[in-house]
Amino acid sequence: MAIYKMVGNKERLDKVAPSSFGQEGVLERSDLQRILRDQPEVLEEGLFIITEEFSNWQGSGRSIDLLCLDVTGRLVVIELKRGETGEHMDLQAIRYAAMVSTITLQQTIEAHRTYLSKRGIAENAEERVRDHLESVDSGEIFTEKPRIILVSENFSSELTTSALWLNGNGLDVTCIRMQPHRSNEELLIETSQIIPLPEAEDYLVRVKEREEEVSKQRSRKISFVESIETAPAEFQSDMKRFLQWAESLKSSNLAVLEESGKSYGNLQLRVFQTKELLAKVNSGEGKRGVPWFHLDPLKIRHVALNSIPALSEHFKRDLGSIDNFPTVPLADVSDEILAALTEAYREANGLAPPQIVHDPQA
């Protein structure tokens, strides 16, 4: 889009000719960086400058143009380019964000103290930083996931594509274009945020917050007790009966109860003495399925061989002669099966009376 100047008594619009910082003799560091350091509101209201040319790390001679805090207390890395964005401007900014993601509040204050000293500003760095944070709703500093602001006269399609992709994958990248225009003796600077579009920013924030909430819910570990509460009514009594039996094994020091990894309410029953897993139950993931019971006869033959006949009878299959892993609906696990399993856990813990039994697998 062009900039026009209204001429005369609202007679017409004359186009203001676009220019470039190179043509106008505007330098990147001594002009642009200096001005934005002293007037960060040109880029965003509420930015607090911590320091410029920050390079407090080993093994790299690179430095961040401007390091700031925003109105939420979040760390902001600002990278400037006088002309069109360089080939690796986005990657360079990501490296910087990663490098400062572990900075502490005290290190932030020290960086600001050094900055004030270099500029000859006789103010207390800690007070300035804490005053800014006190104006933040949370009153805290957030450095683990810094924002990135890229500022340039123009942005290549490759960089804007990268910025959009990075934002879609959890980063926070803002692209601000600063375009000079020449109107006779005046040099005009047009600033425009091109990523994300200001009109869509609130919507994108809401979408991102919703995605984060859904992600938290999906990754949250659901206990077996919670899964009972969300299960269909016809499954709840069998699940409660199984949990009561499992708790009785636990209280008798026969089994250790574990929630299985990131599963949805899956309960494992490990032998108290050896931690062997003989049986487990899958809750069926709330309303999405039927609770299933799983038995591992290989482990039972290893630690509770004398219990095989009774279990084979109840499951109506020879668990001693084939590698058969019974998986049945929890509703089919009778009280007699639970009693036989109790004896298996007793034997696995060395409590069942010893018997001489022929092992068909021998």
Q: So what CATH class is 224-348?
A: alpha beta
Average pLDDT for residues 344-361, to the nearest whole number?
Answer: 70
Nearest to 220 by CA among 174, 261, 248: 261
pLDDT at 118 over 90: yes
Nearest to 52 by CA among 71, 70, 79: 79
Give the integer Cα–Cα distance in Å for 300 and 325.
11
Give the integer Cα–Cα distance in Å for 330 and 284.
10
Q: So what CATH class is 12-201?
A: alpha beta
Q: Spell out the residues 6+ positions from residue 180 whose beta carbon is closer than 8 angstroms to its own.
A: 18, 19, 20, 21, 23, 24, 26, 153, 187, 188, 189, 190
Q: What is the pLDDT of residue 139?
A: 83
Q: What is the pLDDT of residue 318?
A: 82
Q: Spell out the residues 6+ positions from residue 68 whose beta carbon is closer than 8 angstroms to its own.
A: 40, 47, 48, 49, 50, 75, 76, 78
What are the extents of the domains in the chain? Answer: 12-201, 224-348
Q: Kindly tell me the sign of the dihedral angle through the C-alpha atoms of 145, 149, 150, 154.
A: positive
Average pLDDT for residues 27-31, to the nearest whole number?
Answer: 91
Q: Which long-range contacts (CB under 8 A, 24 or more apart) does 317-322 make?
A: 319/295, 320/359, 320/360, 320/361, 321/360, 321/361
- pLDDT tens digits, residue range 156-202? 888 888 888 898 888 999 999 999 999 888 899 999 998 888 656 66
Nearest to 70 by CA among 123, 148, 150: 148
What is the reported pTM?
Answer: 0.59
Nearest to 89 by CA among 110, 65, 72, 69: 65
Q: Three-class SS of residue 1?
A: coil
Q: What is the pLDDT of residue 58?
A: 63
